[in-house]
Chains A and B, each alone.
Chain A
């Protein structure tokens, strides 16, 4: 008997990507490769974002991430924060802190911002600026200081990859010295620019093991003083991650132009058509969008997921990863050891190990920037 269709649970999280413009050029950026192409050329207005926040709150959202690109480039950020606070959304600013002044951050505090997350690309200025592709380390340190002085909770965000995994201890010590509440050590997830640069970014197993030893030791040392979040390097795991807690179950991303995605990478799945908040209310999209309904629940699952006990644990893993690696968004997440496409992942990992063992330099990185994006968009 077919299951009775039920209304989806209300969403809890909204990631508002306010703009794809960014002064940094990190080669693992999760923004679309074609962010500078025709599909993404418009940005929602202040009024449109405020409406999205109102509709999100009415729908059940409680946590709001203000991200990008670089959200500080929106001159209306204070207005958006004030609206979020009025509505009772808990807001987190996710920023590079590039050219962030104390006055700007104080204005955001007055507007009701709750939490600040500032990225850093490495533990020292030379490497951090090289990975960011923009001189920004000094601004970040100033941003951390302002954040603490103004009484915000602080999260230090780091994306880990081959060129900075050896600095995990120094990064944790940096976060500790800054008085941060949390440090997010996110091993690179291969989407967007990171997928494009995968061969250069992927670490060796030995690097990952060494870093994980440090994390465990530092967790024991620091206890509750600093929360160390370790985002698993899923290519090196046996089972897939429970991506977003399941497709369109609790989380949504609204892109700068107003498309509603179940995560910040899903726009890459070209076989799905995503609705926009310019054409529909958010509530209608959450309930009725064919793209959001497509992989919600379990009925879409193929074998081996369909009969697997872990389907309630990992929800079949990540649809974006399935699409990028296999060309089919409905395939079992290829990082799963039970997936028919796991050999593709194993081959990518083995290639990196072989190159590292032979001391072959990693391929050149493509930095995230508008000209490269336009060139890549033209290729597609």
Chain B
């Protein structure tokens, strides 16, 4: 079964900020009273979420970059998880 791509163009919510943490050598998504520590893939996904690309387009870009297949489901699940916390929104 193929995953249903989330409708809309993902972007980081205004209350959240993607940032490099020099001390711990990782990207973090900062938000009120908390943060999400990101691995390299998570950071790469969020860097592409500028409100101009669909989830499919984000996945396609990463598929090309990492020479790997079937990323769309993982990208969608990752972004839906952040959307559930209000850290990513889907625009049009």
Residues in chain A within 8 A of chain B (CB atoms): 10, 12, 58-60, 62-63, 88, 90, 92, 114-115, 151, 153, 155, 181-182, 224
Contacts and interface: CB of A to CB of B under 8 A. Distances in A.
B17 interface: yes
B52 to A, nearest CB: 21
Contacts of B33: 63, 92, 115, 155, 182
A62 B17 CA distance: 11
Contacts of A182: 32-33
Nearest to A65: B33
B84 A62 contact: no
A115 B84 contact: no
A62 B21 contact: yes
Most central of B15, B33, B85 by chain A CB within 10 Å: B33
A62 B15 contact: no
Given A151-B14, A181-B86, A115 B32 contact: yes
B35 to A, nearest CB: 6
A155 B34 CA distance: 13
B17 A114 contact: yes
B28 interface: yes
Interface residues of B, number: 17
Contact of B24 (A60, A114, A155): A60
Contacts of B21: 60, 62
Given A224-B84, A224-B86, A181 B23 contact: no
A59 B32 contact: no
A115 B23 CA distance: 23
Contacts of A60: 21, 23-24
B71 interface: no
B63 interface: no
A62 B35 contact: yes
Which 6 A-B pairs have CB atoms at the shortest separation, nearest pair first? A153-B15, A60-B23, A90-B30, A115-B32, A153-B32, A10-B23
Contacts of B19: 62, 88
20 contacts: A10-B23, A12-B35, A58-B23, A60-B23, A62-B21, A62-B28, A63-B30, A63-B34, A90-B30, A90-B31, A92-B32, A92-B33, A114-B15, A114-B30, A115-B33, A151-B14, A155-B32, A181-B15, A182-B32, A224-B86
B86 A62 contact: no
